[in-house]
């Protein structure tokens, strides 16, 4: 389980793209544009320019409109699955094969012109997707087909695709008049533009804290040497490799407080106003569609179904986590009292939690995290992660030599099964200016069955781990290894898909289930059988001693009550703003955050901070952040099957691949979980995983 601060700041939430699909990958005419490459060709990213991005965007949208126009002309009597539903999937896929890479480039390309052009293209694509969501001709084509005898006789993924497509259209406003739909499109376009601007403002933050020798005391030599300035000070920026270790190890309480405040105030000058505008527009959108709140609209087609189910879920967690959170907090208080030499201390400030948690691990649990990270050198971690995934899921990862990439240290891998390439993924692991600053998986190309063969699904893993220096390799904290495995779980969900339609490919599942395949994969870094494959000292190559691992395991749930309560807080902030908040009322979003933090967590709110300004998931998740813990319950329940059969059991791994990963969104999520479990799901494994015996406590 990730520690409290990392559950928020290390984004383990995937970057979502509208993932659709295509039978014909080629674009009309020949093109030297890197983004318009041949079927299953490797995109030559090194050649990509801003002009290429602009051209590919224009061509893909233009050709999609032309193909849609042809689809509309088919008479109702002539409609069948192939010429209507499959063709729709083809059209969407062709667009998304450009949109996926462009979306990624807007987050990672080092060239300002290319990156900014990609951001402009993202806005153009968003408006196009909004446009076709409200296209009456397209709705009528799908609706007409859904009423045919053939459509009513469909089963399996085809029936699900038709049903979901009609439902999505009708949820998007086709019960409305043309005038109201036009109004809805304007609202959606505004939301898209503002959401992109909100994220851009976060990405462009370049604030930093200058500290002196005494304020950086406690940090390791490799951390200090890369941040030392010519005048003898140290520049601490707000990227995670800078922020996380400083909050954990700096002995200066005042410097940690200042950095914490700066971190929570990222984009605070612009984003609170943007957030209010977005909330107002979402409220208008929901009311226009006949829903009381945006949250009611948003969860209607997800596993939760109703807002009340989310509130019940969150409140139940608050109640059950209360005792464990208080125990965790008291442990930190005891350590703080010892360190400051006062028995009158009665509060842990949020900028102190990571610092005293480190002492707690070191002194009570005899765990030195700086010692632990010496066993997690980046290349070894990659090898171990790959070995684990290849062994469990029956595949092979083969590195592509000298790939054409957007940054020199980006790597490309083919995924092979039975000797044949089935998919690809890129890894972009280290921080740099203007790069997406969290950890996330970016889907790029969907899996899809086509007349030319199976379209290779492709994804990119983007992280911001400590870069190697001249005298020290990249060494990862165990929390960072957990993040690596988590995000690679999303990659596996994308690249092991076997769906017929790209609309169902990989992570195209219900938003409140999408984290489960990544969360389950975290468990392998808490098992000695899998860890000893790769956890080796970077100097001596000594395997992580089992004694040290046992200390890590004993400390696994230190702070788990606080960490999970913090996750509840983030879910409650998101859901409150979208279900119980009036954006035109007198209460500010900052007051909402303050009120909820002081009610739910044991850490007092720091006045003058605006964490919601940099809470990027308010844009992407939007009334869906509750899904992190919702899906974790399913993830831990599914992992209990591995625990029973053996965490490296190949048969269990292949069953999980074939039932959960391969099917993507082509089947109902709950049905897949029940088939894998062989029973109805429950919460026991989740509570056990955080050190809480619900049965024993009688909860």
Average pLDDT over residues 288-303: 95
Model confidence band, residue 666 (pLDDT cutoffs 50, 70, 90): very high
Question: Known catalytic residue: 449?
Answer: no
* % the chain with pLDDT above 70: 95
Half-sphere exposure of 534 (CA within 13 A, CB side): 24
- Separation of alpha carbons 664 and 345, rounded Å: 51
**Which architecture, in CATH terms, is 34-202?**
Up-down Bundle (1.20)
Other CB atoms within a 10 A radius of the CB of residue 51 amount to 12
Q: Is the pLDDT of residue 28 over 60?
A: no
Average pLDDT over residues 376-385: 98
For 86-112, the pLDDT digits (tens) are 999 999 999 999 999 999 999 999 999
Q: Is the pLDDT of residue 699 over 50?
A: no
Of the candidates 160, 137, 267, the one whose C-alpha atom is nearest the C-alpha of residue 504 is 160
CB 589 within 8 A of CB 611: no
R_g of the chain computed on alpha carbons: 25
pLDDT of residue 9: 30
Q: Is the pLDDT of residue 18 over 60?
A: no
Q: Is the pLDDT of residue 27 over 70?
A: no
For 312-371, the pLDDT digits (tens) are 999 999 999 999 999 999 999 999 999 999 999 999 999 999 999 999 988 988 989 889
For 132-153, the pLDDT digits (tens) are 988 999 999 999 999 999 999 9
The larger pLDDT score, comparing residue 497 to residue 471, is at: 497
Q: Is the pLDDT of residue 661 over 70?
A: yes
Looking only at the bridges linking them, the beta strands covering 208-211 and 411-417 are unpaired
Half-sphere exposure of 426 (CA within 13 A, CB side): 28
Other CB atoms within a 10 A radius of the CB of residue 592 amount to 17
pLDDT of residue 693: 73
For 388-424, the pLDDT digits (tens) are 999 999 999 999 999 999 999 999 999 999 999 999 9
For 40-88, the pLDDT digits (tens) are 999 999 999 999 999 999 999 999 999 999 999 999 999 999 999 999 9
Model confidence band, residue 30 (pLDDT cutoffs 50, 70, 90): low
pTM here is 0.86
CB 686 within 8 A of CB 569: no
Q: Apex CA 102: angle with CA 133 and CA 489, to 5°?
A: 90
- Separation of alpha carbons 255 and 87, rounded Å: 58
In sequence order, what DSSP letters do the residues of 244-274 get, joined into one string? HHHHHH---HHHHHHHHHHHHTTTTTTHHHH
Model confidence band, residue 692 (pLDDT cutoffs 50, 70, 90): confident
**φ, ψ dihedrals at 323, nearest 5°:** -65, -45
- Separation of alpha carbons 139 and 264, rounded Å: 43
Structure tokens at 99: 């949109």
Angle between helices 271-288 and 560-579 (to 10 degrees): 60
- Separation of alpha carbons 7 and 691, rounded Å: 17
Q: Is the pLDDT of residue 25 over 50?
A: no
Q: Is the pLDDT of residue 696 over 70?
A: no
CB 679 within 8 A of CB 638: no
Burial of 108 (C-beta count, 10 Å sphere; 0-12/13-18/19+): buried
Of the candidates 202, 85, 130, 107, the one whose C-alpha atom is nearest the C-alpha of residue 501 is 85
- Separation of alpha carbons 98 and 245, rounded Å: 38
Model confidence band, residue 694 (pLDDT cutoffs 50, 70, 90): low
pLDDT of residue 162: 98
pLDDT of residue 175: 79
* Ramachandran assignment for 402, one of left (phi > 0), alpha (psi -120 to 50 degrees), beta (any other): left
Q: Apex CA 166: angle with CA 160 and CA 172, to 5°?
A: 130
- The one catalytic residue in 119, 314, 482, 487 is 487
Average pLDDT over residues 210-221: 95
pLDDT of residue 3: 36
Average pLDDT over residues 297-323: 94
pLDDT of residue 6: 33
Burial of 403 (C-beta count, 10 Å sphere; 0-12/13-18/19+): middle
- Across the chain, mean pLDDT equals 93
pLDDT of residue 240: 86
pLDDT of residue 130: 87
- Separation of alpha carbons 36 and 56, rounded Å: 7
Average pLDDT over residues 421-450: 95
Domain ranges of the chain: 34-202, 206-264
**φ, ψ dihedrals at 108, nearest 5°:** -130, -15
The larger pLDDT score, comparing residue 11 to residue 569, is at: 569
CB 299 within 8 A of CB 628: no
Average pLDDT over residues 601-624: 95
């Amino acid at each position: 389980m990730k520690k409290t601060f990392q559950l928020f700041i290390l984004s383990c939430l995937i970057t979502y793209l509208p993932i659709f699909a295509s039978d014909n990958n080629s674009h009309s005419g020949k093109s030297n544009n890197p983004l318009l490459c041949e079927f299953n060709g490797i995109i030559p990213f090194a050649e990509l320019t801003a002009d290429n991005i602009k051209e590919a965007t224009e061509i893909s949208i233009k050709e999609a409109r032309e193909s849609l126009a042809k689809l509309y002309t088919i008479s109702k009597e002539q409609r069948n699955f192939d010429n209507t539903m499959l063709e729709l999937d083809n059209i969407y896929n062709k667009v998304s094969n450009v949109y996926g890479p462009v979306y990624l480039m807007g987050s990672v390309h080092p060239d300002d012109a290319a990156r900014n052009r990609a951001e402009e293209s993202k806005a153009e694509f968003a408006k196009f997707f909004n446009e076709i969501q409200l296209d009456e001709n397209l709705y009528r084509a799908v609706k007409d087909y859904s009423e045919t005898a053939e459509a009513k006789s469909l089963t399996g993924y085809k029936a699900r695709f038709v049903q979901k497509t009609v439902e999505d259209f009708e949820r998007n406003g086709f019960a409305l008049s043309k005038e109201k739909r036009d109004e809805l499109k304007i609202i959606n376009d505004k939301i898209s533009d503002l959401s992109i601007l909100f994220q851009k403002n976060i990405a462009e933050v370049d604030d930093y804290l200058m500290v002196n020798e005494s304020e950086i005391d406690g940090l390791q030599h490799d951390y200090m040497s890369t941040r030392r300035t010519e005048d003898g000070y140290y520049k601490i920026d707000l990227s995670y490799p800078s922020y996380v270790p400083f909050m954990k190890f700096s002995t200066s309480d005042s410097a940690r407080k200042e950095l914490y405040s700066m971190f929570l105030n990222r984009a605070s000058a612009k984003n609170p106003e943007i957030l209010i505008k977005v909330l107002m527009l979402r409220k208008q959108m929901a009311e226009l569609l006949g829903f009381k709140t945006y949250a009611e609209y948003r969860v209607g087609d997800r596993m939760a179904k109703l807002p009340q189910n989310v509130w019940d879920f969150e409140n139940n967690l608050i109640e059950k986590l209360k005792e464990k959170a208080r125990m965790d907090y008291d442990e930190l208080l005891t350590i703080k009292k010892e360190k400051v030499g006062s028995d009158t201390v009665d509060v842990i400030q949020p900028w102190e939690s990571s610092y005293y948690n480190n002492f707690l691990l070191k002194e009570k649990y005899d765990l030195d995290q700086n010692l632990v990270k010496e066993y997690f050198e980046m290349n070894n971690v990659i090898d171990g992660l790959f070995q684990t995934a290849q062994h469990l899921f029956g595949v092979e990862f083969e590195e592509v030599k000298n790939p054409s990439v957007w940054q020199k240290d980006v790597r490309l891998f083919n995924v092979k099964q039975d000797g044949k390439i089935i998919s690809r993924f890129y890894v972009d692991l280290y921080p740099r200016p203007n790069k997406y600053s969290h950890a996330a998986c970016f889907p790029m190309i969907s899996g899809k069955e086509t007349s030319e063969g199976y379209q290779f699904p492709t994804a990119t893993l983007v992280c911001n781990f400590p870069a190697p220096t001249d005298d020290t390799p990249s060494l990862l904290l165990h929390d960072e290894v957990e993040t690596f495995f988590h995000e690679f779980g999303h990659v596996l969900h994308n690249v092991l898909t076997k769906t017929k339609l790209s609309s169902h490919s990989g992570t195209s599942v219900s938003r409140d289930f999408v984290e489960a395949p990544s969360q389950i994969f975290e468990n392998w870094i808490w098992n000695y059988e899998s860890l000893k494959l790769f956890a080796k000292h970077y100097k001596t190559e000594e395997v992580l001693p089992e004694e040290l691992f046992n200390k890590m395991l004993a400390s696994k749930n230190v702070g788990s009550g606080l960490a999970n309560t913090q996750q509840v807080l983030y879910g409650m902030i998101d859901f409150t703003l979208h279900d119980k908040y009036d954006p035109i009322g007198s209460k500010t979003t900052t007051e909402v955050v303050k009120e909820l933090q002081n009610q739910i967590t044991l850490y007092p709110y720091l006045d003058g901070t605006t964490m919601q300004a940099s809470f990027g998931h308010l844009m992407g998740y939007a009334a869906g952040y509750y899904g992190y813990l919702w899906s974790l319950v399913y993830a831990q329940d599914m992992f209990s099957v591995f625990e029973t059969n053996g965490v490296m059991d190949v048969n269990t791994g292949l069953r999980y691949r074939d039932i959960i990963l391969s099917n993507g969104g082509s089947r109902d999520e709950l049905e897949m979980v029940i088939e894998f479990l062989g029973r109805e799901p429950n919460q026991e494994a989740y509570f056990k995983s955080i050190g809480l015996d619900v049965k024993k406590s009688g909860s």
